[in-house]
């Protein structure tokens, strides 16, 4: 590849955005080298093809969500120009050896350098994740990614796919919002093995429903979602520690 290969080529150096390590500009052998993330994609874990760690540990799922939220904060608000990903989905979220999540695949991302960049001729994105408001209007904003992120939150809480034609309600976003409104969402939840897992995942679905609201005034910004998820994690961690402490006291009394 010779001089056409650049090592250390960087786009974003954020801990939760997948890094490009090298690029070949050789027309005969174009190549992009990404960092390797050994635990594969979130979708593989949701499909139970990469073990049951996330299924069993709801706080680990919450950590994945927080990592992705911080990746989107970096793209939306901390880059030179705002960057809207447009393809946030479980297959574009990769996990390292410690289950830290990184957002990948910026192939259809839009860099917003002027107001004109917000109007897109073709609203690209994945079925089941793409914001209906953006799809119908062709108008892009930071909350378009928030809708997609909300669907990922629903996947994390339920281990269901973003869409399934064999379900009575095809889109997961529609299904979860319907079940929340009817008060029967508990049947969808995968609580895991941690104490309070069901309540934690229901809280995740409640914020996910706001993320998927068709009313942009209701839908929060991603930094607001991240703040909420971090508070939720702090509360869950405290409750888990208390439950473990109580269990240890019980063990001592039986000794």
Backbone angles phi, psi at 131, to 5 degrees: -65, 125
Q: State whether the Cα torsion 61-66-67-68 is positive or negative.
A: positive
- Paired tokens of 63: 């950590």
Task: Assess whether 67 carries a catalytic annotation.
Answer: no
The set of long-range contacts for 129-138, using a CB threshold of 8 Å and a minimum separation of 24, is 129/87, 129/88, 129/89, 129/162, 132/214, 133/214, 133/216
E strand or H helix that includes residue 21:
strand 20-24
Which region holds residue 105: left if phi is over 0, alpha if psi is between -120 and 50, else beta? Answer: left
E strand or H helix that includes residue 24:
strand 20-24
Q: Which of 87, 141, 145, 210 is catalytic?
A: 87
How many angstroms separate the CA atoms of 24 and 243, rounded?
A: 53
Are 152 and 125 in contact, with CB atoms under 8 Å apart? no
How many angstroms separate the CA atoms of 181 and 170, rounded?
A: 17
Catalytic residues: 87
């Amino acid at each position: 590849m010779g001089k056409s290969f650049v090592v250390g080529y960087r786009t974003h150096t954020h801990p939760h955005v997948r890094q490009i390590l090298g690029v070949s500009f050789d027309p005969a052998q174009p190549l992009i080298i990404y960092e390797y993330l050994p635990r594969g994609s979130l979708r593989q874990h949701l499909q139970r093809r990469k073990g049951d760690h996330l299924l069993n540990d709801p706080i680990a799922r919450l950590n994945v969500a927080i990592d992705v939220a911080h990746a989107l904060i970096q793209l939306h608000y901390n880059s030179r120009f705002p960057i809207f990903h447009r393809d946030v989905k479980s297959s574009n979220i990769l996990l390292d050896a410690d289950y830290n999540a990184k957002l990948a695949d910026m192939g259809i991302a839009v860099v917003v350098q002027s107001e004109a960049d917000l109007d897109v001729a073709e609203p690209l994105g994945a079925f089941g994740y793409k914001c209906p408001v953006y799809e119908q209007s062709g108008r892009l904003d930071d909350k378009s990614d928030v809708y997609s992120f909300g669907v990922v939150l629903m996947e994390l809480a339920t281990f269901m796919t973003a869409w399934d034609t064999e379900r009575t309600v095809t889109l997961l976003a529609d299904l979860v919002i319907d079940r929340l409104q009817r008060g029967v969402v508990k049947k969808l939840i995968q609580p895991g093995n941690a104490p309070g897992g069901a309540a934690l995942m229901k809280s995740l679905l409640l914020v996910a429903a706001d993320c998927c609201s068709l009313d942009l005034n209701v839908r929060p910004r991603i930094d607001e979602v991240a703040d909420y998820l971090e508070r939720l994690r702090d509360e869950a961690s405290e409750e888990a520690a208390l439950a473990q402490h109580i269990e240890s006291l019980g063990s001592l009394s039986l000794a």
